[in-house]
Amino acid sequence: MTVNQTNPRQLTRAAQPLIHCITNPISIHDCANIILAAGGRPIMAEHPAEVAEITRNSHALALNLGNITDARMKSMPESLKIAASLHIPVMLDLVGTACSNLRYEFAQKLMNIHMPELLKGNMSELLAMSGQTAHAIGIDAGVQDVLTDANRSHLKELFQEKASQWNTTLLITGKEDMIVSANKCEFITNGTPAMSQITGTGCMLGMICATYLAVTDSFTAAVSAAREFGTAGERAEKNSSGPGSFQTELFDQFYNLL
C-alpha cells in the first residue's frame, strides 16, 4: 500500500512508533490496546528507576494524571526531561486538574520543566489551567463549563492566547471538541454520548493523539485523533446494544478506519 504522507493513521501503521505511556491503572489496558489499534506499539513502564531509559528509546511520550500516585509523580518529570532533551514529542492529559489542587500544581510543575507539544483536557481542566474559574464535577467538566454559541468567540480567543503563550496545541474535549494552536482553531462535532458511558474513552483519545504525535505535528495529530475516534464511536453505537458491546465495537470500528 502506498502511504499517504498526510494521513497520520497510514503514517503510524507504516512506522509502528513506540509510545511510552505513564498513565492510570483504571484505563491502562484500554490505552495500550487503542495504541495498537492505531498502529503504534505501547509500553506502559512507570517505575521511577526505568522510565528515563524507556523514554529515551521511544518515539512519543504520553502522560496522564488520572489516579495519580507518588510513584508516577516521580516518574513523569524524569521522562519529561529525557523527552525534552531528545526532542521526543509529549502529550499531557490534564485529568483532574480542575478538581484536585495536587494535580493542578503537579501539572504546572511539568509544564515548567518542559511544555508538552499537546495539552489535552476537558473544558473545566483547560479553564483551570488558564487561570479561569472552573466548575468541575470530579474529573468531569461542569455543566457551566461547556462550549456554546454565546461563548465560542471568547473561548477561542482565550485558548489561542494560551496556546501562543505556552507554545503548544490544546485539545479541549466535550460534546464538541475544540483544537487550538496560536494561529489555528478547529471544532469537531462528531462522537456520541455513549462514549461517556464507559470508563477511559478520554484517556484513550489522549493515547491516540500521542501515537500520531510520533509521525505528524501536534495540531494535525489532535484533529485526526478526535475526528477518527468520534467517528468510531458513532459507528460502534449503531452496532451495539449496551456499554459492553459498545466498548468492543469501539475498538473494532477504530481499528478498521482507513
Domains and CATH numbers, the chain: 8-190+199-252 (3.40.1190.20)
Cell of 98: 480542575
Cα dihedral 68, 116, 207, 148 sign: positive
> What is the rounded CA–CA span in Å between residue 144 and residue 71?
34
Residue 118 phi, psi (nearest 5)? -140, 125
When mean pLDDT is compared across 62-66, 102-106, 131-135, 203-207, the lowest value belongs to: 131-135
pLDDT of residue 3: 67
pLDDT tens figures, 236-252: 999 999 999 999 999 99
Bridge partners (DSSP) of residue 112 are none
Alpha carbon distance 127, 145 (integer Å) = 8
Is 200 labelled a binding residue? yes
169 is in an annotated binding site: no
The neighbour count for residue 185, using CB atoms within 10 Å, is 18
Distance CA 135, CA 127 (A): 9
The SS3 call for residue 258 is: coil
pLDDT for residue 1: 53
Give 258's pLDDT tier (boundaries 50, 70, 90).
Answer: confident
> What is the predicted pLDDT for the residue at 5?
72
Crossing angle between the packed helical segments 28-38 and 243-255, to the nearest 10 degrees: 30
Is 173 annotated among the ligand-binding residues? yes
Paired sense of beta strands 169-173 and 177-180, if any: antiparallel
By three-state DSSP, how is residue 131 classified?
A: coil
pLDDT at 127 over 60: yes
- DSSP sequence for 53-119: HHHHT-SEEEEE-TT--HHHHHHHHHHHHHHHHHT--EEEE-TTTTT-HHHHHHHHHHHHH---SEE
pLDDT at 201: 97
pLDDT band of residue 2 (cuts 50, 70, 90) is low
Q: Quick: pLDDT tens for 15-59.
A: 999 999 999 999 999 999 999 999 999 999 999 999 999 999 999
Chain segment 201-233, per-residue pLDDT in tens: 999 999 999 999 999 999 999 999 999 999 999
The pLDDT of residue 224 is: 98
Closest to 66 in 3D by CA, of 200, 193, 175: 200
Q: What is the mean pLDDT of residues 164-190?
A: 97
pLDDT at 255 over 90: yes
